[in-house]
Amino acid sequence: MGRMVKLPQPDTKGSVTLEKTISQRRSQRDFLNDALTQKQAGQLCWAAQGASGRLRTAPSAGAAYPLEVFVVSGDGLFHYLPDKHSLEEMTAEDLRGKLAAACWGQEFVKQAGAIFVMAAEFRRTTGRYGERGVRYVYMEAGHAAQNIHLEAEALGLGSVAVGAFDDEAVKKVLSLPEELEPVYMVVVGRYRGGSAR
Protein backbone atom coordinates (compact mmCIF):
# COMPACT_ATOMS: atom_id res chain seq x y z
CA MET A 1 0.00 0.00 0.00
CA GLY A 2 1.93 2.99 1.33
CA ARG A 3 5.24 3.56 3.01
CA MET A 4 6.36 1.40 5.91
CA VAL A 5 7.37 3.03 9.18
CA LYS A 6 9.64 0.84 11.30
CA LEU A 7 8.89 1.61 14.93
CA PRO A 8 11.51 1.86 17.69
CA GLN A 9 11.96 -1.29 19.75
CA PRO A 10 9.43 -1.41 22.61
CA ASP A 11 10.61 -0.73 26.13
CA THR A 12 9.98 -3.75 28.35
CA LYS A 13 11.41 -2.16 31.52
CA GLY A 14 9.36 0.94 32.21
CA SER A 15 10.03 3.35 35.04
CA VAL A 16 6.50 3.32 36.50
CA THR A 17 5.16 0.37 38.49
CA LEU A 18 2.08 -1.45 37.27
CA GLU A 19 0.35 -0.71 40.58
CA LYS A 20 0.97 3.03 40.26
CA THR A 21 -0.23 2.96 36.66
CA ILE A 22 -3.45 1.20 37.64
CA SER A 23 -4.09 3.58 40.54
CA GLN A 24 -3.57 6.71 38.42
CA ARG A 25 -5.43 5.71 35.25
CA ARG A 26 -8.42 7.97 34.56
CA SER A 27 -10.41 8.73 31.43
CA GLN A 28 -9.22 12.00 29.86
CA ARG A 29 -11.05 13.96 27.18
CA ASP A 30 -9.42 17.41 27.22
CA PHE A 31 -6.58 16.73 24.80
CA LEU A 32 -3.95 19.09 23.46
CA ASN A 33 -3.57 18.86 19.69
CA ASP A 34 -0.05 17.41 19.97
CA ALA A 35 1.28 14.51 17.93
CA LEU A 36 2.58 11.39 19.59
CA THR A 37 6.21 10.52 19.00
CA GLN A 38 7.06 7.39 17.01
CA LYS A 39 8.36 5.87 20.24
CA GLN A 40 5.06 6.54 22.02
CA ALA A 41 2.95 5.27 19.11
CA GLY A 42 5.10 2.16 18.83
CA GLN A 43 4.93 1.46 22.55
CA LEU A 44 1.12 1.75 22.49
CA CYS A 45 0.76 -0.49 19.42
CA TRP A 46 3.06 -3.06 21.01
CA ALA A 47 1.01 -2.97 24.23
CA ALA A 48 -2.16 -3.65 22.25
CA GLN A 49 -1.05 -6.45 19.92
CA GLY A 50 2.73 -6.61 19.84
CA ALA A 51 4.74 -9.77 19.41
CA SER A 52 5.91 -11.31 22.66
CA GLY A 53 7.82 -14.41 21.67
CA ARG A 54 5.51 -16.53 19.53
CA LEU A 55 2.42 -14.99 21.14
CA ARG A 56 1.16 -11.42 21.51
CA THR A 57 0.87 -9.04 24.43
CA ALA A 58 -2.91 -9.52 24.80
CA PRO A 59 -4.46 -12.97 25.30
CA SER A 60 -6.41 -14.44 22.41
CA ALA A 61 -8.65 -17.52 22.45
CA GLY A 62 -6.82 -20.25 20.58
CA ALA A 63 -4.20 -17.68 19.53
CA ALA A 64 -6.56 -16.79 16.66
CA TYR A 65 -5.73 -13.06 16.86
CA PRO A 66 -8.86 -11.64 15.21
CA LEU A 67 -7.91 -8.01 15.94
CA GLU A 68 -6.27 -5.57 13.56
CA VAL A 69 -5.05 -2.28 15.03
CA PHE A 70 -5.26 0.97 13.06
CA VAL A 71 -3.75 4.27 14.16
CA VAL A 72 -5.40 7.53 13.10
CA SER A 73 -3.30 10.65 13.63
CA GLY A 74 -2.55 14.02 12.08
CA ASP A 75 -0.07 12.18 9.84
CA GLY A 76 -2.72 9.88 8.38
CA LEU A 77 -4.07 6.36 8.80
CA PHE A 78 -1.75 3.47 9.58
CA HIS A 79 -2.17 -0.29 10.02
CA TYR A 80 -0.04 -1.91 12.73
CA LEU A 81 1.90 -5.00 11.65
CA PRO A 82 2.82 -6.87 14.86
CA ASP A 83 5.32 -9.29 13.32
CA LYS A 84 7.32 -6.40 11.85
CA HIS A 85 6.59 -3.91 14.65
CA SER A 86 5.88 -1.44 11.88
CA LEU A 87 3.12 0.84 10.68
CA GLU A 88 1.89 0.61 7.11
CA GLU A 89 0.57 3.92 5.81
CA MET A 90 -2.94 3.60 4.37
CA THR A 91 -3.37 7.32 3.63
CA ALA A 92 -1.58 10.55 4.55
CA GLU A 93 -4.92 12.34 5.06
CA ASP A 94 -5.77 13.48 8.59
CA LEU A 95 -9.01 11.57 9.21
CA ARG A 96 -9.53 12.63 12.83
CA GLY A 97 -12.33 15.09 11.99
CA LYS A 98 -14.22 12.51 9.91
CA LEU A 99 -13.68 9.90 12.60
CA ALA A 100 -15.04 12.30 15.25
CA ALA A 101 -18.17 12.72 13.12
CA ALA A 102 -18.49 8.91 12.89
CA CYS A 103 -18.23 8.88 16.70
CA TRP A 104 -21.44 10.90 16.80
CA GLY A 105 -19.68 14.23 17.12
CA GLN A 106 -17.37 13.52 20.05
CA GLU A 107 -15.08 16.51 19.46
CA PHE A 108 -12.18 15.30 21.61
CA VAL A 109 -11.51 12.58 19.01
CA LYS A 110 -10.18 15.13 16.52
CA GLN A 111 -7.98 16.87 19.11
CA ALA A 112 -6.09 13.81 20.36
CA GLY A 113 -2.62 12.77 19.26
CA ALA A 114 -3.86 9.39 18.02
CA ILE A 115 -6.87 7.14 17.93
CA PHE A 116 -6.22 3.40 18.15
CA VAL A 117 -9.03 1.60 16.34
CA MET A 118 -9.42 -2.12 16.87
CA ALA A 119 -11.26 -3.93 14.12
CA ALA A 120 -12.06 -7.63 14.25
CA GLU A 121 -12.31 -10.38 11.69
CA PHE A 122 -14.72 -12.48 13.74
CA ARG A 123 -14.44 -15.62 11.61
CA ARG A 124 -10.83 -16.12 12.71
CA THR A 125 -12.26 -17.01 16.12
CA THR A 126 -15.80 -18.19 15.33
CA GLY A 127 -14.40 -20.61 12.75
CA ARG A 128 -12.94 -22.53 15.69
CA TYR A 129 -15.36 -21.75 18.53
CA GLY A 130 -18.66 -21.13 16.77
CA GLU A 131 -20.94 -18.39 18.12
CA ARG A 132 -19.14 -18.49 21.48
CA GLY A 133 -16.18 -17.02 19.60
CA VAL A 134 -18.00 -13.69 19.27
CA ARG A 135 -17.70 -13.28 23.05
CA TYR A 136 -14.01 -14.20 22.90
CA VAL A 137 -13.34 -11.49 20.32
CA TYR A 138 -14.90 -8.81 22.51
CA MET A 139 -12.96 -10.11 25.51
CA GLU A 140 -9.74 -9.82 23.51
CA ALA A 141 -10.57 -6.27 22.45
CA GLY A 142 -11.01 -5.41 26.14
CA HIS A 143 -7.64 -6.94 27.01
CA ALA A 144 -5.88 -5.03 24.22
CA ALA A 145 -7.62 -1.77 25.11
CA GLN A 146 -6.71 -2.05 28.79
CA ASN A 147 -3.09 -2.56 27.75
CA ILE A 148 -3.28 0.68 25.75
CA HIS A 149 -4.85 2.58 28.65
CA LEU A 150 -2.21 1.39 31.11
CA GLU A 151 0.67 2.00 28.69
CA ALA A 152 -0.65 5.50 27.98
CA GLU A 153 -0.69 6.25 31.70
CA ALA A 154 2.84 4.88 32.09
CA LEU A 155 3.95 7.22 29.29
CA GLY A 156 2.32 10.23 30.99
CA LEU A 157 -0.44 10.39 28.38
CA GLY A 158 -4.19 10.45 28.76
CA SER A 159 -6.65 8.03 27.20
CA VAL A 160 -10.34 7.38 26.95
CA ALA A 161 -12.37 4.46 25.63
CA VAL A 162 -14.82 5.11 22.81
CA GLY A 163 -17.58 2.65 22.08
CA ALA A 164 -20.17 5.14 20.83
CA PHE A 165 -19.72 5.19 17.07
CA ASP A 166 -21.54 4.34 13.86
CA ASP A 167 -19.92 1.09 12.72
CA GLU A 168 -20.60 1.60 9.02
CA ALA A 169 -19.44 5.21 9.12
CA VAL A 170 -16.17 4.18 10.79
CA LYS A 171 -15.65 1.46 8.18
CA LYS A 172 -16.17 4.02 5.45
CA VAL A 173 -13.83 6.63 6.99
CA LEU A 174 -11.06 4.05 7.42
CA SER A 175 -11.82 2.18 4.16
CA LEU A 176 -11.90 -1.10 6.09
CA PRO A 177 -12.39 -4.29 4.09
CA GLU A 178 -15.75 -6.02 4.36
CA GLU A 179 -14.50 -8.72 6.77
CA LEU A 180 -13.30 -6.23 9.41
CA GLU A 181 -15.72 -4.76 11.94
CA PRO A 182 -14.70 -1.89 14.24
CA VAL A 183 -15.21 -2.96 17.84
CA TYR A 184 -13.31 -0.55 20.10
CA MET A 185 -11.39 2.73 20.01
CA VAL A 186 -8.92 4.19 22.45
CA VAL A 187 -8.21 7.90 22.08
CA VAL A 188 -4.75 8.87 23.36
CA GLY A 189 -2.82 12.11 23.74
CA ARG A 190 -1.34 14.78 25.92
CA TYR A 191 -4.00 16.39 28.04
CA ARG A 192 -4.30 19.64 29.92
CA GLY A 193 -2.61 19.24 33.26
CA GLY A 194 -0.72 16.11 32.18
CA SER A 195 2.93 15.70 31.34
CA ALA A 196 4.32 13.04 29.04
CA ARG A 197 7.19 11.05 30.52
The model's pLDDT over 6-29, given as tens digits with 9 standing for 90+, comes to: 999 999 998 999 999 999 999 999
Q: Beta partners for 20?
A: none
Assign residue 140 the CATH number of its domain.
3.40.109.10
**Sheet strands (E) in the chain:** 4-6, 51-52, 55-56, 67-73, 76-81, 86-91, 114-120, 158-162, 181-189
Number of structural domains in the chain:
1
The pLDDT profile of the chain, 197 residues, written as one tens digit per residue, is: 689 999 999 999 989 999 999 999 999 999 998 999 999 999 999 999 999 989 999 999 999 999 999 999 999 999 999 999 999 999 999 999 999 999 999 999 999 999 999 999 999 999 999 999 999 999 999 999 999 999 999 999 999 999 999 999 999 999 999 999 999 999 999 998 766 65
pTM of the model: 0.96
Domain span at residue 60 reads: 31-189
Residue 10 maps to a domain: no
Residue type, 42: G
Residue 58 maps to a domain: yes
Residue 37 maps to a domain: yes
Residue 3 maps to a domain: no
Residue 46: name the closest of 6, 2, 9 by CA.
9
